[in-house]
Amino acid sequence: MQQIQPLTQHLVLIGGGHSHAIALKQLGMKPIPGLRITLISDVAQTPYSGMLPGYVAGLYDFDACHIDLRPLCQFAGAALVRDRAVGLDLEANRVLLANQSPVAFDLLSLDLGSTPAVLDLPGAAELTIPVKPISRFLSQWDQLVERVRQQPQPLRLAVVGGGAGGVELTLAIHARLTRLYTELHQPSRYLELHLLHRGRRLVPERAAGLGRDLEQILSDQGVRVHLDQNVSKILAGAANSDSEGWIEKKICCESGMSLEVDQIFWVTQAAATSWLAESGLATDERGFVQVNDCLQSVSHPQVLAAGDVATMVQHPRPKAGVFAVRQGKPLVENLRRAISGQALQPFTPQKEFLILLGTGNGTAFASRGGLSLPALPLLWHWKDRIDRNFMAQFNDLKPMAERAGANGNGANGPDAQMPCAGCGSKVGSSVLQQALTRIQPAARPDLLIGLAAADDAAVLQVPAGQVMVQTVDYFRALISDPFLFGQIAANHCLSDLFAMGAEPQSALAIVSLPYAAPAQQAELLYQLLSGAELVLSQAGAALVGGHTTLGHELAFGLTCNGLADPAQLWRKGGMQPHQALILTKPLGTGTLFAAEMQLKAQGRWIEAAIDSMRRSNQAAVACLRQHGATACTDVTGFGLLGHLLEMLGASGLDASLDLSTLPLIDGAETALKQGIFSSLHPQNARQSSQISNLAAVSQHPVYPILFDPQTSGGLLAALPLDAAPDCLDALKGAGYDQSAIIGQSYLPSEVNPTPVSRDYCCVKGS
Q: Looking at the annotation, which residues are catalytic?
A: 423
Question: How far is 110 from 559, CA to CA, in rounded Å?
Answer: 39
Classify 741 as helix, strand or coil: strand
Residue pair 20/109 in contact (Cβ under 8 Å)? The answer is: yes
Residue pair 38/350 in contact (Cβ under 8 Å)? The answer is: no
Question: How far is 666 from 210, CA to CA, in rounded Å?
Answer: 46
Residue pair 642/684 in contact (Cβ under 8 Å)? The answer is: yes
Across-strand partners of 512? 549, 555
φ, ψ for residue 737, nearest 5 deg = -65, -30
Other CB atoms within 10 A of residue 686 CB: 10
Question: How far is 5 from 406, CA to CA, in rounded Å?
Answer: 11
Residue pair 406/413 in contact (Cβ under 8 Å)? The answer is: no
Which of 498, 487, 537, 472 shows the shortest CA–CA distance to 617? 498
Which of 410, 307, 419, 379 shows the shortest CA–CA distance to 19? 307
Which of 205, 219, 132 shows the shortest CA–CA distance to 163? 205
Other CB atoms within 10 A of residue 534 CB: 17
Across-strand partners of 411? 5
Residues ≥6 apart with Cβ < 8 Å to 213: 365, 372, 374, 375
Which of 446, 459, 471 shows the shortest CA–CA distance to 558? 471
Sign of the C-alpha dihedral, residues 744, 588, 608, 632?
positive
Question: How far is 600 from 164, CA to CA, in rounded Å?
Answer: 36
Residue pair 113/14 in contact (Cβ under 8 Å)? The answer is: no
Q: In what order do the strands lie in the sheet with 555-564?
A: 467-476, 555-564, 503-514, 542-551
Across-strand partners of 249? 236, 261
Across-strand partners of 563? 468, 503
Across-strand partners of 263? 157
Other CB atoms within 10 A of residue 216 CB: 12
Residues ≥6 apart with Cβ < 8 Å to 342: none
Question: How far is 77 from 411, CA to CA, in rounded Å?
Answer: 12
Classify 126 as helix, strand or coil: helix
Q: Which amino acid is at 410?
A: G
Query: C-alpha angle 69/74/78, rounded to 5°?
Result: 85
Classify 659 as helix, strand or coil: helix
Question: How far is 631 from 633, CA to CA, in rounded Å?
Answer: 7
CA distance to 225, 265, 386, 608, per residue, from 175 (Å): 16, 16, 22, 33
φ, ψ for residue 112, nearest 5 deg = -90, -10
HSE (CB half, 13 Å, CA atoms) of 486?
28
Residue pair 211/202 in contact (Cβ under 8 Å)? The answer is: yes
